[in-house]
Amino acid sequence: MLRHYEKCGILYPAEIDKMTGYRHYSAGQIPLVQSIVTLRDLGFSIDEIEDTLPRLNDFAYMNRALRAKADSVQSAIEKEQAKLERLLSISSTMRKERNMMVFEVELKKLPAVKVIALRGIIPQYNQEGILWEKLGRYVGEKGIRCHSDGYATFFDEEYKESDIDVEIAIPVDTAGTSDGAFVFKEYEEIPLAAAIRFTGPFDGGYDIAIEKLARWMEDNGYAFAGRLRGHTLAGPGDEPNPEKWEVEIQVPVVKK
């Protein structure tokens, strides 16, 4: 490093032996070396060290230089944190894919079903629980007799990063009277739907299954003919272990 610093012009030997070429440094150069090492350890480049060394005693300059470097380090930390979160997310998804079972796509007719529904905007796709909690509380307070399964229908025309428009619904035997946002309705029969089931956590499971469903539709010449919905056959209300949750993704289709 001493030779490197010499080539860069920031630290020269006090003396060079003409016979051996050995470089000799004096005790008086130790503070300079310490300053170079400190700046290097703080992330300053060789060019920045060269600019800074003559101004070590300039308080205003050093304060600006250190604050600018601190801002640079903070920005780098935030970028690395984003990388870390992305890596952990990918790793988590890979683990889920390994433990998850995704079945083959099936063409089927979906019967009509009476439901009580609640539609709203959720921050992210994996935050359906916000609506389920509201609907579950309402159903409990009103003593409405419901089935154990449920639906989630997505109304956005394309994938969104936030503010997802979704309707959740629970099947009922008898339709009651709608109450504000809590609506009794009947989902109509769907003559032809492409359906695919997966078992495992919702977070990641939806993405994997939908991707497989979309590839199958493209390969087999089918097009979307309605809203995509998820039919939860077993979820948090039935089974505490996410590995045992089961969802069937359903979408009306037509042959191209």
Is the confidence at residue 86, as pLDDT, over 70?
Answer: yes
Q: What predicted TM-score, i.e. pTM, was given to this entire model?
A: 0.59
* Distance between CA atoms of residues 130 and 150, nearest Å: 14
Q: What is the pLDDT of residue 202?
A: 79
Which backbone phi and psi does 125 adopt, to 5 degrees? -60, -35
SS3 90: helix
Contact predicate 215/205, CB 8 Å? no
Annotated domain spans of the chain: 2-56, 101-255
Q: 130-134 long-range CB contacts below 8 Å, 24 or more apart?
A: 131/166, 131/168, 132/168
The string of pLDDT tens digits covering residues 137-185 is: 999 999 999 999 999 999 998 878 889 999 999 999 999 999 999 999 9
Contact predicate 174/118, CB 8 Å? no
Pairing of strands 229-234, 246-255: antiparallel
Whether domain 101-255 has CATH 3.20.80.10: yes
The string of pLDDT tens digits covering residues 50-79 is: 899 999 899 999 999 999 999 999 999 999
Q: What is the pLDDT of residue 93?
A: 60
- Would you place residue 129 in the very low, low, confident or very high pLDDT band (cuts 50, 70, 90)? confident
Q: Which CATH architecture has domain 2-56?
A: Orthogonal Bundle (1.10)
* Distance between CA atoms of residues 9 and 15, nearest Å: 15
